[in-house]
C-alpha cells in the first residue's frame, strides 16, 4: 500500500504534529520562502511520488496568506507526482460566504473550492462547515467531520439536571439538537438578525430557559457579538448561568475581553481546529487531532469515514458514550 506523507503550512503546526503523532508517522518538512516582491515559494522536503499526501492547513488569520500557502503546497504535491492529495482544512473560513444575499458580491466559499480543486486537491477533509450546502461547492469528495461528540464528552459525567443546550440562531438548531440528545437535555435557540459583521440582534428565545443553566453551542466564535447578545437575552429570560462551547474558537478583536468579563459565563471550551488565542488562559481546549488522524487512516485504508459518527447523530444510531475509535 502507498505510504502516507503529511505536510503542514504555517497556520497551525501544533495540530499537524498531534495528528501525525496519533497516526504514527512523521510530519514532513516544508520550506516556505518569501521573495523581495512579497511572492511566496513553497518546497516540500519529502518524496511525494505515488504517495498518499495530506496537507494540514486551517484557514485562519492571516487567512489569505494561509490560503495561498495551501494552494502552493497542493500544486507542489501534484507536480511531484503524488498519487492522491487531500487538503486537510480543519477550519474552512470561506464557508460563511455561501450565498448571494446582496447585489454584486462573490460567493467566496464556491470560489475557494474551485481554487483548491484547480490546484490539484483530489479530496478535502474538513470540520463543522458553517453551512452544509458548502459541501456541495466541491467537485471532489469531501469528508465533513463534526466535533459535537468530542465536545459532549467534556460535559458527560456532570450533573446536567436543569441544563439546556442553546443555539445562538435557528440555523444551528439542528446541530444543537443533536448535541442536546447526546447529553439527554432539552434544547432552545435564539432568533437572530445580523446587522453587521460584528453586530447582531436576538429578538426572541425559542424554548424554556427560565431557572436553567445553559450550554451555548456554536460552530464558530469570531468577535463574540452573537454570544454576548444571546447571554444577555438568556439572563432576561431567567437563565442562571452559561457554559460556552464552540468548534472554531477564533476569538478575534474584542472577543476575549467580552467573554472573560461577562458575569453569566462559567466556562468557555473550544477545539484545537485553530490555534489558541493569546491572553485567554481560562479557555479550555479539547483536541480533535484524534478525529482527524482516524479519518485520515480510514481514507488511506479505503474504509468508511461516516461510520466514525454513527453514535453522534441520533437519526442514524443511538447516542454512544464514546466515539468508535
Task: Indicate which residues carry an active-site annotation.
Answer: 192
Cα separation, 90 vs 289, in Å, equals: 10
Q: How far apart are the first and last CA of the chain?
A: 22
The HSE-up count of residue 77 (CA atoms within 13 Å, CB side) is 36
Cβ-Cβ contacts under 8 Å for 31 (sequence gap 6 or more): 42, 43, 45
CA dihedral (95, 278, 270, 209) positive or negative: negative
Cβ–Cβ under 8 Å, residues 82 and 53: yes
Cβ–Cβ under 8 Å, residues 127 and 90: yes
Phi, psi of 274 (to 5 degrees): -125, 160
Cα separation, 90 vs 271, in Å, equals: 10
DSSP state of 222: S
Amino acid at each position: 500500500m502507498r505510504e502516507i506523507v503529511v505536510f503542514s503550512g504555517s497556520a497551525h503546526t501544533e495540530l499537524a504534529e498531534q495528528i501525525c503523532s496519533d497516526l504514527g508517522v512523521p510530519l514532513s518538512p516544508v520550506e516556505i520562502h518569501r521573495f523581495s516582491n512579497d511572492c511566496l515559494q513553497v518546497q516540500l522536503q519529502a518524496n511525494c511520488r505515488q504517495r498518499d499526501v495530506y496537507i494540514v492547513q486551517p484557514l485562519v488569520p492571516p487567512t489569505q496568506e494561509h490560503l495561498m500557502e495551501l494552494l502552493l503546497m497542493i500544486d507542489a504535491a501534484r507536480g511531484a507526482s503524488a498519487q492522491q492529495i487531500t487538503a486537510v482544512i480543519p477550519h474552512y473560513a470561506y464557508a460563511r460566504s455561501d450565498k448571494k444575499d446582496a447585489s454584486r458580491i462573490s460567493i467566496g466559499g464556491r470560489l475557494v473550492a474551485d481554487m483548491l480543486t484547480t490546484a490539484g486537491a483530489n479530496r478535502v477533509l474538513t470540520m463543522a462547515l458553517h453551512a452544509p450546502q458548502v459541501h456541495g461547492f466541491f467537485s471532489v469528495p469531501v469528508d465533513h467531520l463534526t466535533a459535537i461528540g468530542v465536545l459532549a464528552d467534556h460535559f458527560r459525567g456532570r450533573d446536567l439536571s436543569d441544563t439546556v443546550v442553546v443555539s445562538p440562531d435557528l440555523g444551528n438548531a439542528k446541530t444543537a439538537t443533536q448535541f442536546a440528545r447526546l447529553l439527554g437535555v432539552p434544547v432552545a435557540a435564539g432568533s437572530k438578525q445580523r446587522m453587521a459583521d460584528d453586530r447582531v440582534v436576538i429578538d426572541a428565545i425559542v424554548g424554556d430557559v427560565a431557572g436553567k443553566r445553559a450550554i451555548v453551542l456554536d460552530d464558530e466564535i469570531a468577535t463574540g457579538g452573537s454570544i454576548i447578545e444571546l447571554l444577555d437575552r438568556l439572563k432576561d429570560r431567567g437563565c442562571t448561568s452559561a457554559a460556552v462551547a464552540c468548534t472554531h474558537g477564533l476569538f478575534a478583536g474584542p472577543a476575549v475581553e467580552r467573554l472573560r468579563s461577562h458575569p453569566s459565563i462559567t466556562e468557555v471550551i473550544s477545539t484545537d481546529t485553530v490555534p489558541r488565542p493569546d491572553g485567554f488562559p481560562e479557555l479550555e481546549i479539547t483536541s480533535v487531532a484524534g478525529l482527524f488522524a482516524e479519518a485520515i487512516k480510514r481514507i488511506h485504508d479505503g474504509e468508511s469515514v461516516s461510520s466514525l459518527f454513527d453514535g453522534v447523530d441520533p437519526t442514524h444510531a443511538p447516542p454512544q458514550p464514546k466515539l468508535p475509535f
